[in-house]
Amino acid sequence: MKKRFIIGITGSSGILYGIHFIKTLAHYVEGESHVIISDSAKLVLKKELDISIKNDEEFLNYCLKDIKSPVHHFIVENPKNVGAKPASGSFLHNGMIIVPCSMKTLSAIANGYSNNLIERSAEVCLKEHRKLILVPRETPLNLIHIENMKKITLAGGIVLPASPGFYHKPQSIEDLLNFICGKILNLLDIEQKLFPSWQG
């Protein structure tokens, strides 16, 4: 069955996790996703990967450039448009993933302060009891971060820290990205083949 997701990409280090997740869907998961990229994510893109994009479509083209026949369709949403489809509870989907998720966005969601389309869509996920997966990359954590993660977990969200395991003996950055993207797929009830599952 085709899947529909909302993907938020925010201004946290580890922008490659977001790019790799989009690539993973494009390769293996039939369906469509609405992609929302925050302004700060574009800053991080420039800092971490030396990529400047003029508009969000360019970001998507960058993610998909090596994929000949994507099986997943992507629709870019303006983060300022809090009236777009994902902002409404009547918009049905299979889950929202924010990867990577900044501490600022995590705080906004934990405290119900929805100031852009990413935060509003996440708020709606929680109120509609839809799957919400946040992939923060911050270390160390202060008590406010931890309290915010606790609030989100109690409200039904899932915090999946970008902390890859090493038991699959990663040889490359791609192996580390695969670990986190595989974990996200597992949580979305999609069988993942990105890294070998633990065999006991």
Ligand X SMILES: Cc1cc2nc3c(=O)[nH]c(=O)nc-3n(C[C@H](O)[C@H](O)[C@H](O)COP(=O)(O)O)c2cc1C
Which is nearer to ligand X, 29 or 110 (by Cβ)?
Answer: 110
Which stretches does DSSP call E strand in 17-71?
A: 31-37
Q: Measured at CB, which residue is nearest to ligand X?
A: 11
Our finding on whether 80 is near ligand X (CB under 6 A) is no
159 binds ligand X (CB under 6 A): no
Question: Per rule CB under 6 A, is residue 24 in the interface with ligand X?
Answer: no
Instruction: Give the Cα separation of 52 and 65 in Å (integer).
Output: 15
Indicate whether 36 belongs to the interface with ligand X (CB under 6 A). no
Q: What angle do CA 73, 134, 94 make, to 5 degrees?
A: 40
**147 burial level (CB within 10 Å; 0-12, 13-18, 19+):** middle
Closer Cβ to ligand X, 32 or 138, answer by number? 138
Nearer to ligand X by Cβ, of 100 and 192: the residue is 100
Note whether 41 and 53 are within 8 A (CB).
no
Residues 6+ apart with CB under 8 A from 130: 93, 94, 95, 96, 124
* 106-120 core/surface letters (b: 16 or more CB in 10 A; e: else): bbbbbeeebebbbbb
Give the number of residues in contact with ligand X, rule: CB under 6 A: 16
CB of 59 to ligand X, least distance (A): 13
State which of positions 132-151 bind ligand X (CB under 6 A).
137-138
Contacts of ligand X in 96-135 (CB under 6 A): 102-105
Which one, 111 or 197, has the nearer CB to ligand X?
Answer: 111
Q: Which of 2, 47, 80, 150 binds ligand X (CB under 6 A)?
A: 47
Count the neighbouring beta carbons within 10 Å of the beta carbon of residue 165: 12
CB 134 within 8 A of CB 157: yes
11/182 with CB nearer ligand X:
11
* Residues forming the site for ligand X (CB under 6 A): 10-13, 38, 40-41, 43-44, 47, 102-105, 137-138
